[in-house]
Structure 1
Amino acid sequence: MTTIAFATCTELLALDPDDALLADAVRALGAEVVPRAWDDGAVDWSAFDLVLVRSPWDYHLRRDAFVHWAARVERETRLLNHAATIAWNTDKTYLRTLAERGVPTVPTAWVGQAGPSPSLADLLAERGWAGGEAIVKPAVGLGSSGLLRVPAGDPGGAGAAHLSALAAAGDAMVQPFVPSLPVAGELSLVFFERRLSHVLRKRPAAGEFRVQPEFGAVTVPATATPRQLAVAERALACVDDDALLYARVDLVAGPADEVWLMELELVEPTLYFEAAPGSAERFAQLVLDAARA
């Protein structure tokens, strides 16, 4: 029997609802699905036909160890997405690469650990962002971990201290706050093998701007405009991985209805199968095909 490991974390060995739907669909095709924590040293990863990265939602706490784990697993068996893609996508400086290649991204200022750390006030002034709110967050993070929303006119307070602390530990990023977020949230386009599967909108709760479920956000089916689809496909075209199995492209609306890339999720994104009936079954078949290749 084909055996597939879902790489997760210790807290999610029972699988989250999204992964449970996929596991049921894979099992219905006659394969075995076994959840395993990525950092469990007792696991023999070579015993699986495929290791599918699903919900290792603690990797940001030990990113180097996670990247090394992925490289080791790929030497022992088939891993998707690939280890090189995981290494690239777990550091948000990939957004800088995409921007340099012409993908419209949320404007970002990068503060590196190795270089001098400018004051937040100076940085915002240089970029022309001094009049509005800002977001300060680490380059290696998951969801909204380490994120701080800095009020307008207060760059020298908590925001400056937060940026200094982040820059002392690793690379950090500063962005202007996107005003459309509390109203429209994010548009997510889910791709299987680079083909669009389904689209959904993640709407934040009242008074919120974060679009994760733990902050009360809701998800509804949606459609993408040709412009939005073009931005998503342009971002994916920059990914050098000929076996890319899954991707989620998160977009936001900038000023004058610009389309900006917020995140390109290639490691452990929720794929929102529940929002698109039949998508779990379609993806399960691709997973099984990859395991048997």
Structure 2
Amino acid sequence: MSVTRIAIVTSDAGIEYDVDLPLIVDALRADGLTVETVLWDAPAAAWERFDLAVIRSTWDYVERLDDFLVWADTTGVRTRLWNPAPVIRWNSDKHYLRALAQREVAVVPTRFLEPGTQFTPADFTQADGVVVKPSVSAGALDTARYEPGRHEDAARHAQMLLNQGRSVMVQPYLPRVAEGERALIFIGGGFSHAIRKDPLLTEPGVIDNDRVPHLGVAPYQPTKEEIRTALAALAAIPSPKAPLFARVDLVLNNIGEPVVLELELIEPNLFLQSSMEGLRHFVDAVTARAGASAGCPQLGLDGFC
């Protein structure tokens, strides 16, 4: 009988801080699978010896995006990579919010500024202030919100990012985020569990890259409308198959409707420590993908058989 080998892909930061990582490894091993934790940029990693490579906590990818995308492309033809390289590439830049909006998914209204864009401080005027962030970011990196009347500060923030050659997102600040962000986790294409967490941008005008990204995490029962909005976002993913894992972050707009803040398909925290049922869903989905891998004679360029 052949041995099924699975790589759980992480980073130095993931090894140190990912509380779900040991839970995943132990649960998969308890199911009889051979599992290794592997750094995505390990120089001697032989990815072809794994039946499946599952990305979990590659938390430094934003700082080395080009290297990471090359890694995903090359690894995706040496083993089955989940989520697949084309999905990773699409999701690595938050311009995907524009694609969601074009599919009539309810998203936070977003204006993108590209290097060379001409604008004035008046472009940052919103009734409740604005949020300025780079389009390639994680954990609210280089992100801040600005109160009404501070549009010149917001414009300076945007210009700083543009001067670095980075695309910029400008979004209206939604005050009902104070009621909490909702994170809906989908595993194997189906809804698994959800959490609510406290908002991040509590101090206006401050770029704090050392902030703790997930505060006040608590189990949450999403509404039917929130589930529908999340499913609409998942349906817009340009992939022939459902992702192995996905997290849809929602907030409420000013009339109480859920809108997509982010759709995370690369290395989101899945809050498995808060949901043993979610951990079981994850293990079952990985086991199913690993079984499919064993019967795949050759990978296509899209990462599928």
Whether TM exceeds 0.5 here: the answer is yes
> Equivalent residue for 1:48?
50
Tell me the CA shift for residue 47 of structure 1.
1.5
The unaligned stretches of length 5 or more in structure 2 are 293-305
The unaligned stretches of length 5 or more in structure 1 are none
Relative to structure 1, is the Cα distance of residues 180 and 83 closer, same or farther in structure 2, using a 3 angstrom cutoff? same
- The answer to whether the 8 Å contact 2:128/2:174 transfers is no
Q: When the two structures are superposed, what TM-score results if normalisation uses the length of structure 2?
A: 0.87
Q: Secondary structure at the match of 1:156?
A: helix
> Equivalent residue for 2:301?
none
- The answer to whether the 8 Å contact 1:81/1:243 transfers is no
- The answer to whether the 8 Å contact 1:132/1:153 transfers is no
Relative to structure 1, is the Cα distance of residues 205 and 91 closer, same or farther in structure 2, using a 3 angstrom cutoff? closer
* CA deviation map 1:199-232 (0-9, x unaligned): 211124895699x982561211111111111111
Say which of 110, 113, 120 aligns to 1:111: 113
Q: Secondary structure at the match of 2:76?
A: helix
Say which of 139, 142, 147 aligns to 1:151: 147
Q: When the two structures are superposed, what TM-score results if normalisation uses the length of structure 1?
A: 0.91
Relative to structure 1, is the Cα distance of residues 196 and 161 closer, same or farther in structure 2, using a 3 angstrom cutoff? same
Q: Which segment drifts farther, 42-51 or 273-282?
A: 273-282
> Equivalent residue for 1:5?
7
* CA deviation map 1:150-196 (0-9, x unaligned): 23212113x22220121222211011111112x21211111112211
CA distance in 2, matches of 1:290, 1:188: 24
- The answer to whether the 8 Å contact 1:252/1:262 transfers is yes
Correspondence list, 1:237-256, <5 A: 237-241=235-239, 242-256=241-255
CA distance in 2, matches of 1:11, 1:248: 20
Correspondence list, 1:102-251, <5 A: 102-113=104-115, 115-119=116-120, 121-125=121-125, 129=126, 131-157=127-153, 159-168=154-163, 169-181=165-177, 183-204=178-199, 214=212, 217-241=215-239, 242-251=241-250
Relative to structure 1, is the Cα distance of residues 28 and 3 closer, same or farther in structure 2, using a 3 angstrom cutoff? same
CA distance in 1, matches of 2:40, 2:134: 23
CA distance in 2, matches of 1:154, 1:207: 16
CA distance in 1, matches of 2:219, 2:229: 19
CA distance in 1, matches of 2:75, 2:143: 31
Tell me the CA shift for residue 142 of structure 1.
0.6
CA distance in 1, matches of 2:250, 2:112: 20
Q: Give the CA RMSD over aligned residues.
A: 2.1
- The answer to whether the 8 Å contact 1:205/1:218 transfers is no
Tell me the CA shift for residue 284 of structure 1.
0.6
Q: How many matched pairs?
A: 284
- The answer to whether the 8 Å contact 2:52/2:289 transfers is yes
- The answer to whether the 8 Å contact 2:180/2:197 transfers is yes
CA distance in 2, matches of 1:80, 1:40: 18
* CA deviation map 1:6-44 (0-9, x unaligned): 111123235611122111111110112211111222211
CA distance in 2, matches of 1:71, 1:192: 23
Which amino acid in the other structure matches residue 123 of structure 1?
A: D
Q: Secondary structure at the match of 1:53?
A: strand
CA distance in 2, matches of 1:71, 1:205: 33
Correspondence list, 1:22-61, <5 A: 22-61=24-63
Identity %: 36
> Equivalent residue for 1:257?
256
CA distance in 1, matches of 2:95, 2:233: 14
* CA deviation map 1:253-279 (0-9, x unaligned): 001112110011111111111222222
CA distance in 2, matches of 1:95, 1:206: 20
Relative to structure 1, is the Cα distance of residues 179 and 285 closer, same or farther in structure 2, using a 3 angstrom cutoff? same
CA distance in 2, matches of 1:286, 1:101: 28
